[in-house]
């Protein structure tokens, strides 16, 4: 499953009131694990930089003046996103700017169905809050000391760590760190490439586990899976 931990920086808070996008950062995840691939670009907003926004991210009008326009990077950005789920903290804000810029450039907008809001996840998991990105870093012991000012790529990297904690913590990565290295050494091969994390050879049990359901229940389950088609994820696992 491909996801992209994602963040933006802007000239202000209102995409329909003249504010523009100035930075995009994205970090690719495969089955919740960062692959090392990322996307980052600064964008010329073709307008001034309000002092309040400059204090947040430190991107000046002068610094951005020679950067590409959004229209010039839109196709590259959409190619990177593809059909991946965008993992965003307070997604309505970032997607408001992204879709406004996509509309202005005549491209397709990104549907809400393709977006996962970690702020919603955090509010469900920690209803009494606080649930800002900095507060969640403090809660989960994630080092955000480099976050002196907001930056899209750095915030996307931090968000990837926060997201992992929100969906179950570092247990999600079990079997893909030290065990993976040991397996690589014993097989004489190389580590799996991104997108191939599910293809390693798991150790087999000396004897199969006893099936905890009746034959009738198993037959009904098998019939149900067959009805889902040959691409159903259940078909990747044994019976």
Structure confidence by residue, pLDDT tens digits, 55-66: 999 999 999 999
Domain that holds residue 197: 178-228
Residue 44, domain member (yes or no) = yes
Residue 101, domain member (yes or no) = yes
Q: Which helix (H) or strand (E) element contains residue 81?
A: helix 70-81
Do 51 and 161 reside in the same domain of the chain?
A: yes
* Catalytic residue flag (residue 150): yes
Do 12 and 76 reside in the same domain of the chain?
A: yes
Do 120 and 18 reside in the same domain of the chain?
A: yes
Q: How many domains does the chain have?
A: 2
Residue 129, domain member (yes or no) = yes
Within 84-177, residue ranges assigned H as helices are: 91-104, 118-125, 133-140, 152-166
Do 204 and 151 reside in the same domain of the chain?
A: no
pTM over 0.85: no
Do 50 and 138 reside in the same domain of the chain?
A: yes
pLDDT exceeds cutoff 80 at 234: no
Token couple for 233 = 């994820």
Residue 239, domain member (yes or no) = no
Q: Is the peptide bond before 18 cis (omega within 30 degrees of 0)?
A: no
Do 134 and 197 reside in the same domain of the chain?
A: no
**What CATH code is carried by the domain that includes residue 102?**
3.30.420.10
Q: Which helix (H) or strand (E) element contains residue 30?
A: strand 21-30
Do 121 and 58 reside in the same domain of the chain?
A: yes
Do 27 and 128 reside in the same domain of the chain?
A: yes
pLDDT exceeds cutoff 90 at 9: yes
Catalytic residue (one of 32, 57, 89, 150): 150
Write the pLDDT tens digit of every residue in 151-203: 999 999 999 999 999 998 765 554 444 444 444 444 444 444 444 444 444 45
Residue 234, domain member (yes or no) = no
Token couple for 232 = 């159903």
């Amino acid at each position: 499953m491909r996801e992209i931990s994602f963040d933006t920086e802007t000239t202000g808070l209102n995409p329909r009131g003249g504010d523009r996008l100035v930075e995009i950062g994205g970090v690719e995840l495969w089955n919740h694990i960062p692959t090392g691939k990322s996307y980052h670009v600064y964008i010329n907003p073709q307008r001034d930089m309000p002092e309040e926004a400059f204090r947040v991210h430190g991107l000046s009008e002068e610094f951005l003046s020679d950067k590409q326009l959004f229209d010039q990077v839109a196709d590259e950005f959409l190619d990177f996103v593809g059909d991946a789920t965008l993992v965003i903290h307070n997604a309505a804000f970032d997607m408001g700017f992204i879709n406004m810029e996509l509309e202005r450039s005549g491209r397709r907008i990104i549907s809400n169905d393709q977006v996962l809001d970690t702020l919603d996840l955090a509010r469900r998991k920690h209803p009494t809050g606080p649930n800002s990105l900095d507060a969640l870093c403090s809660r989960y012991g994630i080092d955000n000391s480099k976050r002196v000012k907001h930056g899209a790529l750095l915030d996307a990297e931090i968000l990837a760590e926060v997201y992992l904690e929100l969906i179950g913590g570092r247990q999600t990565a079990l079997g893909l760190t030290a065990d993976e290295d040991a397996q690589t050494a014993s097989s004489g091969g190389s580590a799996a490439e991104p997108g191939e994390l599910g293809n390693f050879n798991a150790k087999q049990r000396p004897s199969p586990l006893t099936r905890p359901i009746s034959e009738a229940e198993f037959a009904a389950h098998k019939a149900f899976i067959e009805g889902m088609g040959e691409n159903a994820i259940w078909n990747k696992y044994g019976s």
